[in-house]
Amino acid sequence: MASPAEGARAEERLRHSVAFPWELHGVYPSATIRQEYRRRPEGGMRWFHEAVDRLHVALLHHIIPPVFRHGIDSPSLSVHLAAVRLTLPALTATRHYTVLAHTLIGEVVAGFQVRWGPQLDLPVLVYHHGIAEMPYDKSFRGIFRGPLPGQAHLVAIRAPFHRTWLDLLPALGSMQYFLTMCAVAVQLGESVRQALLARGARGSMVVGTSLGGFLALLHHLMFSTADGYVPLLAGPDLAHVMLGTHYRRFLASQALAHPVMLQEFLDLRQALQASDTHCILPLLAQYDRDMLYAHHATCYAASGIPVVTIARGHITGSLAFAALRAHVLACMQALLQKR
């Protein structure tokens, strides 16, 4: 793990590679959006953002059983994804849908909601929520308001095991269940995306926050069918989150004893570097103690991907709906105008 001094030097180097999405693609949004990006809390607030992340983890640690306590043996993410079989219900004016998916571990229940735009030929934005987000559309409702509902068809995917907190415990109990959760969410997002394009939508983006951002990157690596991918407060190395941050204390002893296996399952860095990354426009939080900024910005830099940075932590960043919305709007304008 990098020392604090090395992390500080990495942050300084990375400041020179940070760019706004409209600067990368030659699209200049309204002054309101540009102002959102340039708004920064005072530097003295760093302690607050980091303290909120630490407090959140301390509270969770008292209520969540050891993660992967039932084992880390599992087929890979790609094998899980290839095994998923699901059938979408007919899309109507109904907003909420439930889907039964057949997987390597048996049948699991997932869901999604659709907020139709005012005309059929608008783009589709598929959104993946974070781990343990209850209700699953909490951040979706925060980000996708204001002008966004009139500019796109909005889809929120509900990953398996996210109806209640009790439902979530099996997903954290074993690697097989965790990877199944990820695979079904990604496949469902692709299936709904295709269904809306078949109904006349033009263009698509996949967006996600925290674990949802990791799933957006996974969608890019497995399908690469969307026009753009916008991971918010997330990077390609989920193994680092589990092994190299305060979440390490959540892992069961057998998971801690096999760090290489976690990296094989959950570290997407090499695959990302080998992919076409021009359509990936991430946002990271400078004071994030869950997705450490220096590590994940370095991951993106190694793949030639500039990042947008906000001066928040993981939790305070996930609640900065105006800044997240501004980033999504800018990315939608930049990427979809290049179709």
- 94 or 194: whose pLDDT is higher? 194
Place of tokens 């969608």: 219
Retrieve residue 212's tokens.
């949802």
Q: Does residue 2 have a pLDDT over 60?
A: no
Identify which of 96, 278, 214 has the alpha carbon closest to the alpha carbon of residue 206.
214
Give the model's confidence band at 334: pLDDT under 50 very low, under 70 low, under 90 confident, else very high.
confident
- What residue ranges define each of the domains in the chain, with the CATH number in brackets? 4-336 (3.40.50.1820)
pLDDT tens per residue, range 51-61 = 999 999 999 99
What local confidence, expressed as pLDDT, does residue 91 receive? 94
Identify which of 89, 244, 101 has the alpha carbon closest to the alpha carbon of residue 182.
101
- Averaged pLDDT for residues 149-162: 94
